[in-house]
Amino acid sequence: MKAKEFLKEIRGLNADEQQEKLQSLKEELFNLRFQQATGQLENPMRIREVKKSIARLKTILHEGKLGISR
C-alpha cells in the first residue's frame, strides 16, 4: 500500500481503531521476524514496510494527542 493511501485510511479511523491497527501491525512484525529467524521468510522487504507503517501510525497517534490535525 502506498504511504498516502495508508495515511488516508488511518486518519479515517477513530483512536481505538488506530490502536487496534497498531497492535495488528506489531503482531505481524513479530511473526515476520520469527519467520526470518527460522529461514522461512519469503519477502524480507515486508519487514521494512511494516516497520515504516508502524512509525507512520505512531506519528498520527502522537499528532492526535497533541491536537495537531491535517
Each residue's pLDDT tens digit, 29-61: 999 999 999 999 999 999 999 999 999 999 999
Residue 3 has pLDDT above 90, yes or no: no
What is the residue range of 52's domain? 3-66
- Please indicate, yes or no, whether the overall pTM of this predicted structure exceeds 0.85: yes
Number of domains in the chain: 1
One-letter amino acid of 36? Q
pLDDT at 70 over 80: no
CATH of residue 58's domain is 1.10.287.310
The cell numbers describing 13, all together, are: 479511523
Using alpha carbons, list the distances in angstroms from residue 60 to 13, 17, 32, 34, 70: 11, 12, 24, 27, 10
